[in-house]
Amino acid sequence: MSTNIAGLPQRYLRTPEAARFVGLSIRTLEKHRIYGTGPRYAKLGGRVVYRLEDLQAWVDSAVKASTSDPGKAVVLPARRHTPAELEQARQPRR
């Protein structure tokens, strides 16, 4: 199990905390989870939790230097997409 710099166990966030961390509403983050367009998560019993590293990686994948920069990957809107659209968005950009 990885640890953070303070020597504490890895921190997991529930949906409300994770939504605040990435600056989205709870409902939007839930929609991203439903449609498979959001950050990785885990289910522990009936609880959904997010690792800080996964949230940060999801946000980092959308970073761009300018409006013409294609970025590393595409973060799709929180709605239904075809399997081909999902697969294309998950492919790293060149």
Q: What is the pTM of this model?
A: 0.77
For residue 63, what are the domain limits?
Answer: 12-90
> How many domains would you assign to the chain?
1
- Give the per-residue SS3 of the chain: CCECCCCCECCEECHHHHHHHHCCCHHHHHHHHHHCCCCCCEEECCEEEEEHHHHHHHHHCCCCCCCCCCCCCCCCCCCCCCHHHHHHHHCCCC
Per the domain annotation, does 71 fall within a domain? yes
Per the domain annotation, does 6 fall within a domain? no
pLDDT in tens, 21-73: 999 999 999 999 999 999 999 999 999 999 999 999 999 988 888 888 777 77
State residue 26's pLDDT score. 97
State residue 83's pLDDT score. 86
Q: Looking at the predicted structure, is the pLDDT value of residue 10 above 80?
A: no
